[in-house]
């Protein structure tokens, strides 16, 4: 088991639908890692995407996690209530306006000298006159620019429980999205998650390993904001029988759907079996047997237990 800490772990779902088996497995792992190391465990609703999020979905997710046997410390934090904190963070960071459309970014990023998946810096060093011209062009379309971090490094190294030291690319990533002037702008995930982890005292981030590549950007941002960089635990995903990430469209995979056909104890048993543990029927029993060093390192295939 990792070293005992007085910090906190967390689970932070986006309220865009019911949690499925893969989501529940990651939530369970986050709870097990936190409780197993004496940490507090927080729940955060990541509802900054106003077009996809709903209060009803958030409530259903909270109910499902409690049904599963996961308990939380303190109040549930909603990112939609945290906008002033993100505004304050922006004043502490080197930023610049970005006027690029998605098409412009796509075309510039295709250049042979640009690292795939990174912003090529098109707007980074524009002159004042060029910025004024681009700002006017957007205003004519009733649009506002995005805000990007002016990164001072090109890579950053994080420590992951399973992957060890991991060095990844850091570019001038978006902190606040652009868009239509009459609709406001959405905060970017990378900024919100770092500010909120700092606010909640999170020093252990457990999540799917598809997010490993984003950890260096977030750790670097924490560094710039004077926040402690958390330790990371990126766990294998749950895949369907086609080798794709499990999704609700794979059918009968949400907790409510599974409960229609099986008792809760059996579902907890399935989750435990996906972690290589058998003979348990509750989250509390699973915690007693949990040893992260013995967790399977390969993706779990839905339907294999």
The annotation places the binding site for L-glutamate at: 10-14, 46, 189, 207
Task: Quote the tokens at residue 230.
Answer: 């958390």
Label residue 188 left, alpha or beta by phi (over 0 means left) and psi (-120 to 50 means alpha): beta
3-state secondary structure of 97: strand
| Dihedral (CA of 144, 222, 23, 68) sign | negative
Tell me how far apart the alpha carbons of residues 201 and 182 are, in angstroms, rounded to a whole number: 35
Question: Which residue in this structure is represented by tokens 């958030």?
Answer: 58
Question: Which residue in this structure is represented by tokens 């047997």?
Answer: 289
CA angle, corner 183, sides to 182 and 186, nearest 5? 140
Task: Quote the tokens at residue 48.
Answer: 């900054």
- Rg over alpha carbons for the chain, rounded to the nearest Å, is 21
Q: Are strands 155-160 and 95-98 parallel, antiparallel or unpaired?
A: unpaired
Q: Which of 105, 86, 102, 99 is nearest to 132 (CA)?
A: 99
Strand partners of residue 204: 9, 231
Residue 128 phi, psi (nearest 5): -60, -40
* Cβ atoms of 64 and 18 closer than 8 Å: yes
Q: Which of 48, 30, 22 is nearest to 190 (CA)?
A: 48
Q: Binding site for Zn(2+): residue ranges?
A: 98, 100, 119, 123
Q: Binding site for ATP: residue ranges?
A: 248
Q: Binding site: residue ranges?
A: 10-14, 46, 98, 100, 119, 123, 189, 207, 248
Question: Which residue in this structure is represented by tokens 């019911």?
Answer: 18
Q: Which of 123, 70, 129, 125 is nearest to 101 (CA)?
A: 123
Taking the mean position of all CA atoms in its chain, how far away is CA 247?
17
């Amino acid at each position: 088991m990792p070293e005992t800490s007085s910090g906190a772990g967390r689970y932070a779902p986006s309220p865009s639908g019911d949690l499925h088996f893969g989501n529940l497995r990651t939530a369970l792992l986050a709870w097990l890692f936190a409780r197993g190391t004496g940490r507090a465990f927080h729940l955060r609703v990541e509802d900054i995407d106003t077009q996809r999020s709903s209060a009803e979905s958030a409530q259903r997710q909270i109910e499902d996690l409690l049904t599963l046997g996961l308990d939380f410390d303190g109040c549930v934090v909603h990112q939609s209530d945290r906008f002033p904190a993100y505004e304050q963070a922006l004043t502490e960071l080197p930023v610049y306006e970005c006027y690029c459309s998605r098409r412009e970014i796509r075309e510039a990023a295709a250049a042979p000298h640009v690292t795939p998946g990174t912003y090529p810096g098109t707007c980074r060093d524009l002159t004042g006159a060029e910025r004024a011209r681009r700002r006017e062009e957007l205003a004519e379309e009733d649009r506002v620019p995005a805000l990007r971090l002016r990164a001072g490094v090109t890579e950053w190294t994080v420590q992951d429980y399973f992957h060890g030291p991991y060095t990844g690319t850091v570019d001038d990533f978006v902190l606040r999205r652009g868009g239509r002037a009459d609709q406001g702008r959405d905060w970017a995930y990378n900024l919100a998650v770092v500010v909120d982890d700092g606010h909640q005292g999170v020093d252990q981030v457990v999540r799917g390993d598809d997010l490993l590549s984003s950890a260096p950007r977030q750790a670097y941002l924490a560094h710039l904001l004077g926040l402690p960089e958390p330790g990371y635990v990126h766990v294998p995903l749950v895949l369907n029988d086609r080798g794709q990430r499990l999704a609700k469209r794979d059918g009968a995979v949400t907790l409510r759907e599974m409960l229609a056909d099986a008792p809760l104890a059996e579902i907890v048993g399935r989750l435990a079996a996906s972690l290589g543990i058998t003979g348990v029927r509750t989250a509390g029993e699973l915690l007693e047997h949990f040893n992260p060093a013995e967790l399977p390192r390969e993706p779990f295939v839905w339907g294999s237990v």
